Amino acid sequence: MAVAGLSGTVKSWNGAKGFGFITGSSLPQDILFGRTELPGDIREVQGKFMEGRPVVFDAVQGPDGRYKATAVAVPLIEGKEVAGKIKTFSEKHGYGFITSSSLTEDVRFQTTDLPQGVTPGAHLREELVTFEVLALPDGKLRVSSLRFQSKKIAMRVGGMGMGGGMGGMAQPGGNMGMVNLQTVQAAQAAQAQGLMTGTVKSFSEKNGYGFLNVAGYPMDIKFGRNELAGGNVSTGESVSFSAVQTPDGRITASNVSSLGGGMKRPASAMGGMGMMGMGAVQKVAVTETPTGRSAYGMIKTYNGQKGFGFISSPGVPGDVFFMMSSLPAEVKSLHGKELQGKNVNFQVSQTSDGKTRAQDITMA
């Protein structure tokens, strides 16, 4: 006997042995499920990630009368980490994308988001990770708090602990790009003066300009030779700088000064301090144009803590992104579970980068 479309909560999960139990469904007992019934991008997670998490699943009844869960899906839940798999990563360009069965689109991450100690040149494609999701003002999603799903994966790509738990440990015979105390203190002093800190991604003496990576900021920041406060800089070097917004909305760097140390990945190892001191800087926002179309749909997922969600609508291809600001005032204080599954009406708008967004949402 098979039963489809059940929901419940993970009561326990043993990541080492690869099985767990689901409780709270309409079936009369706790339901066993195994690792192979989980999506492929979540199979190495540990107990703390799974336990207490709502899931959706089917179940089949065995000869002994007991049910076993199949096709276990893990939806996006407010305040919970997301599991995924690194889809692409370019060390040269300093960024990559993660795909997740819990999300409707890939999520971008920077080199500086990687856990401390990843070996330069390590093959990261297809590695399993967990992370938090941030919604940027332009509607795009961005990774935060990136971790590998298991110690086995972390050791394979660099020998550092899962989730930074072994951060700061030197590996024999290799420079893992750890930040020394002097560099950290210099960064803290710069941030206390309202400056930003980052890493030199590239610099061309011939062309007279280069780019910086900043932890938590979704784009590279350009600087010119005449903005260097102390001569030349090297790729991977830690620097401080002032952020300047140009008339067209872009952010550029001025007064670029070395923090010393020649680190390869300082912003990540400093705990993502690069975004401190950005209070006066505005991120570039894409333009949004109303289409004049109205649509009807159901809130598929909503994360009140992060302030965004997705609507499934039969009249619009793909899921439709929306921000908390588009919700009616009476429901803005609700959490994800309280809004998921609610029917809504909304106005369809189009962003300048071709994406669809919901505005002026009303409860149906």
- Kindly report, residue by residue over 146-191, the tens digit of the pLDDT: 999 988 888 888 744 444 333 333 333 333 333 455 666 666 666 5
Please name the amino acid found at residue 176. M
Q: Which two tokens stand for residue 155?
A: 């050791």
With a pLDDT cut of 70, the percent of the chain lying above it is 77
Q: Which two tokens stand for residue 174?
A: 């290799």
Question: Is residue 203 scored above 50 in pLDDT?
Answer: yes
Q: Which two tokens stand for residue 274?
A: 């690069």
CATH class, 2-73 region: mainly beta
Q: Which residue's entry shows tokens 């007064």?
A: 255
CATH class, 82-164 region: mainly beta
Q: 76-85, 164-173, 201-210: which range is least confident on average?
A: 164-173
Helix (H) or strand (E) holding 61: strand 54-61
Burial 117-128 (b: 16+ CB within 10 A, else e): bbbeeeebeebb
Q: What's the pLDDT at 262?
A: 43
- Decide whether 181-275 matches 288-363 in CATH topology: yes
CATH of 181-275, one of 1.10.3720.10, 2.40.50.140, 3.40.140.10, 3.40.50.1000: 2.40.50.140
Q: What's the pLDDT at 183?
A: 63
**Domain boundaries of the chain, sorted by first residue:** 2-73, 82-164, 181-275, 288-363
Report, as an integer, the average pLDDT of 337-359.
Answer: 84
Domain 288-363 has CATH 3.20.20.70: no
The beta-carbon contacts of 134-139 under 8 Å, at least 24 apart in sequence, are: 134/306, 135/306, 135/307, 135/308, 135/323, 136/218, 136/283, 137/283, 137/285, 138/283, 138/284, 138/285, 138/286, 138/351, 138/353, 139/286, 139/308, 139/321, 139/323, 139/351, 139/355, 139/357
Per residue in 268-287, pLDDT (tens digit) is 333 333 333 333 333 344 56
Do the strands 251-258 and 238-245 form a parallel or antiparallel pair, or are they unpaired? antiparallel
| Three-state SS at 165 | coil
